[in-house]
Structure 1
Amino acid sequence: MKGIGRRWQLLGACAMLPFAAPASAQQSTGDLVACNAAPGETRPWLNPAHSAECRAEFVLRTFDTVEAKLAVLTAGAGRGTDWLTALGLPALRGGDGPAGIRNGGVGVTSFPTPLTVAASFDRATATLYGDTLAQEFVDFGFNRMGGPALDIARSWNFGRVSESFGEDPFLTGAIAAPQVRAIQGRHVLSMVKHYAVYTQEQGRAGDHPLRTRPAVNAVVSERAIREIYLPGFEAAIREGGVGQVMCSFPRINGVYACEHPQLLGILKQEWGFDGQVVPDFPDAQRSIVAAVAAGLDGGYMVGQAQQQAGPGGSLATVTDNSFNGEDLRVAVAKGEISTARVDDLIRRRLVPQFRIGAFDHPATRVAADVSTPERRRVAAEIVARGAVLLKNEGGILPLAATAKTIAVIGHQAGPGAVVAEMGSAHVAPMHLAPVLPAIRQRAGTASVLHAPGTLGLDRLPLVPTGMVRGAGDAAGFTAEYFANADLDFAGKPFLSRQEAAVDNLTIPTDAAFPANRAWSVRWRGSFTPTEDGIQHFTLAGSGTARLFVDGTLAGRFDNTDFGDTIYANVPMRAGRPVAIRVEWTPRVTFRQAAVDDYGTTLGPALRLGWAGPNRLIDDAVAAARASDVAIVFVGHRVGEGMDRQSLALPSDQDALIQAVAAANPNTVVVLQTGGPVTMPWLPKVRAVLEMWLPGDAFGPAAAALLFGDAEPGGRLPVTFPLDESQGPARRPAEYPGRLSRSGALDDVVFAEGHLVGYRYWDAHGQTPLFPFGHGLSYTRFDTMVGAVRQQPDGRVALDVTVHNVGGRTGSEVIQAYVGLPARTGAAPRQLKGFQKVTLMPGERRTVTIDLPRDAFHHWDERRHAWMREAGTYRIMVGRSSRDILHTATIRLPADRGRPSGGP
């Protein structure tokens, strides 16, 4: 991929013309047939007998002037709905919703993370998930949902891996389409996000405050965009009929996603999208006229009053000049935006809501608490369908009736478990059913012991002032403030003072502080423990921070605009001072002061916490030794605004597992993670069960899975690396990216091209810890592949017979991969079909997997088109991307793909 950066920078500067004609994104939702109201019909837009397009046209005819239309469009985000109610149409409400209703307070269900649904490898589960979510939205009084998210897991660092459907574009589309159909089948408008090439949190919106610095720039090939980052959105539009698309934060080859005429043209002209494109909030929209001309349909249409940083970092309400004085009304008057485009903006808002019946079936809240026991039961079923059994040595799971004493270990087994992602997908688990009581109830006469093992994943209390000495032996930390945000601490500090603790919750208003958070601070102190043993530290906050203990880097987070927490567990001797240093800049943080929201802390926060030595691991070891089997529950915090900096389990959870496994050879590890983790203890444990982030239904689902009342039916939608050196985006230029002269993240080079996920492992001969598609069952299957049949329409059909030869009902996921001729430069194999089969003991069934004509195409960058090369194609059927059971070959002639299609 040598030279990719320069090549695609040049294409970005030329607006990447091969994608589409820029003007195409402005065009209308389609040529309307004649729309005529019935005689005497005064409000034809209220009549569902008319088509959605005609109902929108009837509404447009109610406007007397262009100025009236512009008044609606420029009323501001969240306002300007009076005109709808005047027409007899309801002003519909909605909220974030990839995993439930984020802004629902105490009265909603925290559903399992969307990655769980992808892990089910099951379209029926996607339908069930979408339908159940939509039912809750309707009961809450919502007709709009922010979700699902269709971002591809380019690397394990991405903080929002749990919020989407994994690393494979085909799986993403196959899950997205039925979920969207189910959501909108309940008259709830689905908004898929984030279009497109949104793969990291670092630099996603640039430096803050709002829109004052460029967002990160994805330098990515045309082929990767087409083959990896767009297919999920195409499926959501073509097969799911989605009504809204949210454009993403970053620049893509130099052009912001929300003002990218080629990418937005693909949506509207190639795929026939008839709905709205709206910006992510708050920084995705960087213009008005340029964005509307490119294809943005919603968002700010006039300059808005914004909070921006002034001298000293204080915030003042000022007229937002980030749109360079642009205004939709002025642009229309000058002829920069056509009046037809003004109609199009209104039409695109209305057509999808008419089409799915949202206006005809406005939701009304039915109760203060809309989370029902039945809904949580369905959630537990979905958790089980997506849970992945990674290892099961000797069939230790499901637990045998001979296990008379069971040790349940881990803070995650208690009421403080982390079971939901942070950020806009966060739904507080107000109805959480913890693991420990659920296991005790299910265990019957067996004795269940419990030991938390660790302090958990919350931040610790502040370091006591009396344990730290700064300069001159003064109590607390010596803080030095520098007039740059680079953490190089060059030159003389503009402010030095003694502070009781590392406890920052606001931007100082002192005029000495540079504007726009362009400063950094270094806290130094000598910490003296009072007891021998492990001293536990947490550093919680946002921005960029580093924690050094005795001169050694103990943890860090970078460019975090939502709150994150890092952990350091350091052995120390009582009475022996140890140097503590904390370095921080709030450069990328939101807000003037810290606010708890989204399941985390937003704003310029940083807190150094501490706890002294404890016997928690010793107590866990004692419980494990006294038991027939030990089950260790471990997890982590992940989510929006906070990329992961390590593949390891946080805090001392790895040490806990190692100690328990050494004490009891029958150790089972149950993971609650939002993506892959390393497992240094894997050879020493008998079983590993991945439950992802399960939400409210954690306890019942875990008990059912462990005792065999439910089967772990999932397969991995992401590759689990052996270590942090594996996979794409391992060099700084590839992640998090190069720095601009100002010190902000700039270009991120997608040097792997279209070799994302397992494609990269396969092409580079890397052996992962667990491959994409991997997952075990509680039963055993024999699989036989019949003939490969070419169909007249270009499809290829595979007949696969699956036989349950074990003693339990269980599910097998048949996965079909295609290998293209080597001269195409494609990955060795690509998922192009799958089928989940559930069989009773002894049952045999034959299923047909259809590989569509598009399954054999690749994007030809020279022709800027989908092509099928003449040659020999391999068709591989297996249980994972690495466990291939059968390979067949087929010769196909050359074929040009449909001009508006994709794989």
Structure 2
Amino acid sequence: MSSDTTATASDRPWTDTTSPPGDRARALVAAMTLEQKIAQLHGAMETIDIYALTAQAAESGADMDQLAAQIRIERHVAGIEELGIPRFRITNGPVGVGMGDGTPSPPATALPMTIGLAAGFDPELAHQYGTVIGDEAATLGQHVLEGPGVCLHRLPTAGRNFEYFSEDPYLSGVMGVAVARAIQDHGVIAMGKHYAVNDQEYERFRTDVEVDERTLRELYLLPFEMLVKDAGIAAMMSAYNRVRGTYATENRYLLHTVLREEWGFEGYVQSDFWSCRSAAPSINAGMDHEMPDAKWLNEANVKAALHDTSLEIETVDRALVRRYTQMFRLGQFERPYAPGQIDARRNGEVSRRIGEQIAVLLKNENRTLPLEGVGSIVVVGQTTFVDEACLGGGGSSKVDPLYTVRPMDGLREVLDGLGSTVALSKVTVADDLSNLEEARRAAAAADAVVIMAGLVATEGADQDDASMLHDQNRLIGEVGPVNPRTVVVLKDGNPVLMPWIDAVPAVLEVWNQGSEDGHVVADLLLGVVNPSGKLPTTYPRDWADTPFAGHPERYPGTDEGAGYPVIRYTEGLRMGYRWYQSEGITPLFPFGHGLSYTTFELSDLAVRPTTGDGTSPLTVEVTVTNTGDVAGAEVTQVYLGLPEAAAEPPRRLVGFAKVRLEPGASERVRVVVDPGATHHPLSVWDACTHGFVVLPGEYTVHVGTSSADTPLTATVTVG
């Protein structure tokens, strides 16, 4: 070691890369002045009144994209050159590298929405997804990717469901863990969000969520627990809403007791943008970093709190050590800022492959799909869905795409690649349906009709209902029956009502696909790719079937004299498919549903052991056979019914495995259900012991291809 290096390590011990990250962080903080410490507690954006700006946007009818465009968001913490602290650059996620540090934000690959990724039921797909995000964030010189989001699809119309994975906590956790690991493999901090129960956008700055502890633990906190324990996630983002009367950014029970004492979280907690509501109470509770400005953790407030002892300097130091430890852990102090160029073609191809494996074939009567043996195809729909690639996801997570593939361009390219001479045409239907008759005539004259419809949800607002906008139900209901070979392609980020379902023979859910929309949809429609996705959330037949019909206390909440809406999760554990099964209601399409261009059969179920003490892993094996004439993939889904004494809904997802098979081929699929796993598959939350426990009794293993189709069962007895 040279004398210069020795001097540096002696004078600036935090630069010694051989020291543990925590030691380096503590050494750095010890060398900082109070003013430097305070400057590092918050983002560097000039403080604005976001609440007033949001209210103005609502009054004027502006959406979150327009609102975001008005705000010059500097997503960073200013560096301190004399200490070697880099400018800390933060970019939004989780559907790609979104609004990053800088104006305008750097373009990136617009990936399919996260809800669609979950439909893949494949952790390897999630890892590829996270790899693209991590690679691009690192290439652009960003230190933090704000994602994955693992709140649940409690409300079918929630504005940010497109950013979240599923209504099921286990599926959300598995996919979130894979994404987070892949992001951090690139030296980028992954940030789980929005902690916790930010399951709706309505009045998100004000509303209070009241939820019992058992429901909170078994459902809504579970994927966050998996991120901490299984992914080693470096950061969490606290939510806007109150939880049991206390804002999430001030909620010591969530930020300290649960997150750190019980789960062992070693990362740092950042506020959602403008979710911080105080100085001393927030940082004392366990919030470590305010973004995007210094509305609360500014020099005047922090010094005043230190002076009156409502805040201690050790607590300030703790917050900084937590963040610096993760930065040192991921090598961010040593990495020079040298933004490069994203490999758009390579990452676009990955996005295309992911997109093709997450589409869900909801209905396919008379083998309408794939579209083979037709001489002409007409594409019908409103401009958002037929004229441009459907990027989806309004608000701060929206990605500025490097490129897009429009629907008609994608169809033409794929048809040309197949050497097809199919005549292709399009009718763009006005939002007011003024040219609907033109679409009907074109549909009647074509050999096949593809109606593209859907919705683009947005941060900051929930949908008024589960219907598609601009009277698209009428469009489908009137154009669909005109041609017996009509396919509806849904491009959305939420389940939608389908009053027209009996009028069309085929429905393909492709989600908001992003950059590769045109190629993905073409490959699926023309049979280049066989759809293999499964619904990650239940599609209701009617709004009256949901837990919210006639229950305003569940949503949008009621004013109970507090002066703000109080939302009560009184449905408890009966959320998503658990609700429909508990209430005996048949949804339009159940959780886990998804068809294929081929057929599969599950047989020869074996579960071992069949008796035990509730600590040994269960091995579930089943043979999956492709009984059709096309190669395809099937997802074996394992659900567990708990003993009657548990007072649980009928079943919960505890395992799944996706297998790809050639026609006539079979494979023995194995799923291991470990009682000691982070998602507590056999356990219930016990208030007396304040922990998860396995109850004695009979457990029923249900195996099939959706939550409603589990023909194979076995019983396991826990003594």
TM-score, structure 1 length as denominator? 0.71
Q: For residues 452 and 50 of structure 1, what CA distance do their matches in structure 2 show?
A: 65
Q: After TM superposition, list the pairs within 5 Å mapping 1:781-860 onto structure 2.
A: 781-790=600-609, 793-853=615-675, 854-860=680-686
Aligned to 1:727: 546
Q: 1:301/1:431 Cα in 2 relative to 1: closer, same or farther (>3 Å)?
A: closer
- Give the match's secondary structure for 1:699: helix
Does the CA-based 8 Å contact 2:127-2:178 persist in structure 1? yes
- Give the match's secondary structure for 1:93: strand
Equivalent of residue 872 in structure 1, options 698, 702, 710: 698
Q: 1:773/1:435 Cα in 2 relative to 1: closer, same or farther (>3 Å)?
A: same
Amino acid at match of 1:865: G
Amino acid at match of 1:410: G
Amino acid at match of 2:112: P
- Give the match's secondary structure for 2:357: helix
Does the CA-based 8 Å contact 2:107-2:401 persist in structure 1? no
Q: For residues 76 and 427 of structure 1, what CA distance do their matches in structure 2 show?
A: 22
How far off is 1:303 after superposition?
A: 7.0
The answer to whether structure 1 residue 373 and structure 2 residue 199 are counterparts is no
Aligned to 1:389: 361
Q: After TM superposition, list the pairs within 5 Å mapping 1:222-261 onto structure 2.
A: 222-261=213-252
Q: 1:365/1:80 Cα in 2 relative to 1: closer, same or farther (>3 Å)?
A: closer
Provide the aligned length of Structure 1 versus Structure 2.
Answer: 668
How far off is 1:139 after superposition?
A: 2.1
Larger radius of gyration: 1
- Give the match's secondary structure for 2:672: strand
Q: For residues 366 and 712 of structure 1, what CA distance do their matches in structure 2 show?
A: 35
Aligned to 2:86: 90
Q: For residues 91 and 110 of structure 1, what CA distance do their matches in structure 2 show?
A: 26
Q: 1:70/1:143 Cα in 2 relative to 1: closer, same or farther (>3 Å)?
A: closer
| Residues 239-290 of structure 1: per-residue CA shift (max 9 Å, x gap) | 11111111001111111111111111211111111111111112x2111111
Q: For residues 665 and 394 of structure 2, what CA distance do their matches in structure 1 show?
A: 43
- Give the match's secondary structure for 1:102: coil
Q: After TM superposition, list the pairs within 5 Å mapping 1:725-764 onto structure 2.
A: 725-730=544-549, 731-739=551-559, 745-764=564-583
Does the CA-based 8 Å contact 2:635-2:658 persist in structure 1? yes
Amino acid at match of 2:629: G
- Give the match's secondary structure for 1:394: helix
Q: After TM superposition, list the pairs within 5 Å mapping 1:686-697 onto structure 2.
A: 686-697=505-516
- Give the match's secondary structure for 1:297: coil
- Give the match's secondary structure for 1:846: strand
The answer to whether structure 1 residue 348 and structure 2 residue 322 are counterparts is yes
Does the CA-based 8 Å contact 1:781-1:812 persist in structure 2? yes
Does the CA-based 8 Å contact 1:876-1:888 persist in structure 2? yes
Aligned to 2:264: 272
Aligned to 1:662: 481
Q: 1:366/1:863 Cα in 2 relative to 1: closer, same or farther (>3 Å)?
A: same
Aligned to 2:60: none
Q: For residues 229 and 326 of structure 1, what CA distance do their matches in structure 2 show?
A: 37
How far off is 1:430 after superposition?
A: 5.7
Q: 1:41/1:122 Cα in 2 relative to 1: closer, same or farther (>3 Å)?
A: same
How far off is 1:787 after superposition?
A: 2.3
The answer to whether structure 1 residue 58 and structure 2 residue 27 are counterparts is yes
| Residues 304-345 of structure 1: per-residue CA shift (max 9 Å, x gap) | 3xxxxxxxxxxxxxxx8xx99983323333433333322211
Does the CA-based 8 Å contact 1:415-1:432 persist in structure 2? no
Q: For residues 672 and 336 of structure 2, what CA distance do their matches in structure 1 show?
A: 39
Q: 1:652/1:454 Cα in 2 relative to 1: closer, same or farther (>3 Å)?
A: farther
Amino acid at match of 1:222: E
Q: For residues 582 and 76 of structure 2, what CA distance do their matches in structure 1 show?
A: 51
The alignment yields a C-alpha RMSD, in angstroms, of 2.5
Q: 1:822/1:255 Cα in 2 relative to 1: closer, same or farther (>3 Å)?
A: same
How far off is 1:91 after superposition?
A: 2.1
Aligned to 1:81: 78
Q: For residues 324 and 862 of structure 1, what CA distance do their matches in structure 2 show?
A: 42
How far off is 1:705 after superposition?
A: 0.7
- Give the match's secondary structure for 1:733: coil
Aligned to 1:100: 96
Unaligned runs of 5+ in 1: 1-36, 206-214, 305-319, 457-535, 537-568, 570-613, 894-903
Aligned to 2:63: none
* Percent identical residues: 35
Does the CA-based 8 Å contact 1:403-1:446 persist in structure 2? no
Does the CA-based 8 Å contact 2:112-2:512 persist in structure 1? yes
TM-score, structure 2 length as denominator? 0.88
Aligned to 1:589: none
Equivalent of residue 336 in structure 1, options 310, 318, 324: 310
| Residues 405-450 of structure 1: per-residue CA shift (max 9 Å, x gap) | 1111113553345431101121244622111122123334433343
Q: 1:787/1:253 Cα in 2 relative to 1: closer, same or farther (>3 Å)?
A: same
Amino acid at match of 2:242: R
| Residues 58-97 of structure 1: per-residue CA shift (max 9 Å, x gap) | 323423x6665445447866676343x3233432312112
The answer to whether structure 1 residue 883 and structure 2 residue 703 are counterparts is no
The answer to whether structure 1 residue 41 and structure 2 residue 1 are counterparts is no
Aligned to 2:532: 713
Does the CA-based 8 Å contact 2:410-2:518 persist in structure 1? yes
How far off is 1:51 after superposition?
A: 2.1
Q: After TM superposition, list the pairs within 5 Å mapping 1:37-436 onto structure 2.
A: 41-42=9-10, 43-63=12-32, 69-70=37-38, 72-73=40-41, 81-83=78-80, 85-103=81-99, 105=105, 107-205=107-205, 215-264=206-255, 265-282=257-274, 284-299=275-290, 304=295, 327-362=301-336, 364-367=338-341, 370=342, 372-400=344-372, 402-411=373-382, 412=384, 414-416=386-388, 418-429=390-401, 431-436=403-408
Q: For residues 702 and 386 of structure 2, what CA distance do their matches in structure 1 show?
A: 44
Amino acid at match of 1:455: A
| Residues 343-371 of structure 1: per-residue CA shift (max 9 Å, x gap) | 2111111111222223333452214xx36
How far off is 1:676 after superposition?
A: 0.7
Q: For residues 45 and 258 of structure 1, what CA distance do their matches in structure 2 show?
A: 30
- Give the match's secondary structure for 2:555: coil
| Residues 507-536 of structure 1: per-residue CA shift (max 9 Å, x gap) | xxxxxxxxxxxxxxxxxxxxxxxxxxxxx4
| Residues 667-695 of structure 1: per-residue CA shift (max 9 Å, x gap) | 11000011111112211211110011101
Aligned to 1:464: none
Does the CA-based 8 Å contact 1:92-1:362 persist in structure 2? no
- Give the match's secondary structure for 1:425: coil
Does the CA-based 8 Å contact 2:556-2:565 persist in structure 1? no
The answer to whether structure 1 residue 450 and structure 2 residue 425 are counterparts is yes
- Give the match's secondary structure for 2:231: coil
| Residues 555-586 of structure 1: per-residue CA shift (max 9 Å, x gap) | xxxxxxxxxxxxxx7xxxxxxxxxxxxxxxxx
Q: After TM superposition, list the pairs within 5 Å mapping 1:472-621 onto structure 2.
A: 536=432, 614=434, 616-621=435-440
Q: 1:404/1:303 Cα in 2 relative to 1: closer, same or farther (>3 Å)?
A: closer
How far off is 1:291 after superposition?
A: 1.2
Amino acid at match of 1:268: R
Does the CA-based 8 Å contact 1:451-1:619 persist in structure 2? no
Indicate the structure with greater helix content. 2
| Residues 714-762 of structure 1: per-residue CA shift (max 9 Å, x gap) | 10001000011112233212110113669x6421111101211101111
- Give the match's secondary structure for 2:396: helix
Q: For residues 385 and 209 of structure 2, what CA distance do their matches in structure 1 show?
A: 40
| Residues 358-400 of structure 1: per-residue CA shift (max 9 Å, x gap) | 3333452214xx3612211211111111110001112221121
Q: 1:757/1:74 Cα in 2 relative to 1: closer, same or farther (>3 Å)?
A: closer
Q: For residues 20 and 158 of structure 2, what CA distance do their matches in structure 1 show?
A: 42
Amino acid at match of 2:621: D
Amino acid at match of 1:238: K
Indicate the structure with greater strand content. 1
